[in-house]
Structure 1
């Protein structure tokens, strides 16, 4: 089982559970607004993403732990920004049954989001 992660606002995850699918691409963007994919990360990428793009966030965040073998939409590993680092991108809605765990994601004592290890997910 290969696991990837998606950084989500708790309120948006709860709304998705009520709606039956998750359609948020990234902070402030959704598939309904024209985004073409949902941004995901491997465990070793989450902290860098959170500390770069969610540093000013005050709302609660969570990590959606996704089993890639259960995905209905297409998953591609891509380096779209040509930065030498590829990220998993989900082209279509995230089916809720592919989310095998939801974990709170909170800042450490130093104010930064912590690293996530692959071992901690298993």
Structure 2
């Protein structure tokens, strides 16, 4: 599974169009995503202080079946590879969606059933 931290507005747009896309797809040509173990650091680095976030769980096999290309690319700043999704994500590939909340101290916490 892959995970994407999403803004509520992008998720609402996906509900209307049938595919999830975000600003990074238009700007960079792909949607950034994370493995489970990468989610919290990504949230802290790029979304600190945000309360309007969702966490999408995305099935890689469903993406591949829909013809959506995924490439893992090395990110020097993080010292590991991240999955990049080269196209809009069909809603059929999104298996679960959770609110992504931070504690009062500001630390993000993964959903308990993840």
Give the TM interval when normalised to the shorter protein.
Answer: 0.7 to 0.9
Q: Is the 8 A contact 2:24 2:32 kept in 1?
A: no
- Unaligned runs of 5+ residues in structure 2 are none
Aligned-residue Cα RMSD (Å) equals: 1.8
Q: CA deviation at 1:97?
A: 0.3
Q: CA deviation at 1:31?
A: 2.6
In structure 2, C-alpha distance between the alignment counterparts of 1:53 and 1:94, rounded to whole Å:
21
* Change over 3 Å in CA distance of 1:82–1:90 after alignment to 2: same
Normalising to structure 1: TM-score of the pair?
0.81
Of residues 96, 99, 103, the one that matches 2:94 is: 99
Say whether residues 1:114 and 2:106 are aligned partners.
no
- Unaligned runs of 5+ residues in structure 1 are none
Superposed counterparts of 1:1-122, under 5 Å = 3-24=1-22, 29-32=23-26, 34-58=27-51, 60-71=52-63, 72=66, 73-81=68-76, 83-115=78-110, 120-121=113-114
Q: CA deviation at 1:57?
A: 2.4
Structure (1/2) with the larger helix percentage: 2
How many residues were matched structurally? 111
Q: Which moved more, 1:106-115 or 1:77-86?
A: 77-86
Q: Is the 8 A contact 2:98 2:111 kept in 1?
A: no
In structure 1, C-alpha distance between the alignment counterparts of 2:78 and 2:85, rounded to whole Å:
19
Extract structure 1 runs of 4+ deviating beyond 3 A. 80-83
